[in-house]
Homo-oligomer: A and B are copies of this chain.
Amino acid sequence: MEKIEKQGKFFCEIKFNEKLQKSKIIRFKNNKWQGLKSIPYKDTKGNWAFIERIPIFLSENANFEVRYFEIAPGGKSSLEYHNHIHLVICIKGKGKLRLGKSYRTIKYLDIVYIAPNEVHQLLNPFKEPFGFFCIVDRQRDRPIEIED
């Protein structure tokens, strides 16, 4: 319960994209989405490394947000928990999912549901990039990083 109390009741500050009143196709060519750029994984330093984030979709016309993350060999996301859930869909390479103290391998098109307040981390101990979509609610609480 302590975890939940520490989380507070804040929503992330979301900067809205254009309202997207027109339909749009983002083309995937030469292993990249045309017109999309990667941004830092987080604004703050932490227990993450060698991970890039590409914002795929965010609009006030929908209650969800879609991001693509790619973890280079040796990299990892933050070890953290939060009240909002993650839906992860692997589309490149393979990686490890840490849940609490256990690790499981994630491969192409495996789908991962990360439940509320479960301590989790995605890691790439392999030799090729590990890429995945991560779908979240647009309004959500801030993650709490924890020490390993």
Q: How large is the interface on A (under 10, 10 to 19, 20 to 34, 35 or more residues)?
A: 35 or more
- CB-CB < 8 A to A97: which residues of B? 25
Question: Using an 8 Å CB-CB cutoff, how does the interface string of A96-107 with B read, 1 for contact, 0 for none?
Answer: 010100001011
Q: Are B24 and A113 in contact (CB under 8 A)?
A: yes
Q: Are A24 and B116 in contact (CB under 8 A)?
A: no
Q: Are A104 and B25 in contact (CB under 8 A)?
A: yes
Q: Are B106 and A23 in contact (CB under 8 A)?
A: no
- CB-CB < 8 A to A110: which residues of B? 25-28
Q: Are B23 and A111 in contact (CB under 8 A)?
A: no
Q: Are B137 and A62 in contact (CB under 8 A)?
A: yes
Q: How far is the CB of A138 from chain B (nearest CB, A)?
A: 7
Q: How far is the CB of A12 from chain B (nearest CB, A)?
A: 14
The reply to whether the CB of A63 lies closer than 8 angstroms to some CB of chain B is: yes
Q: Are A20 and B57 in contact (CB under 8 A)?
A: no
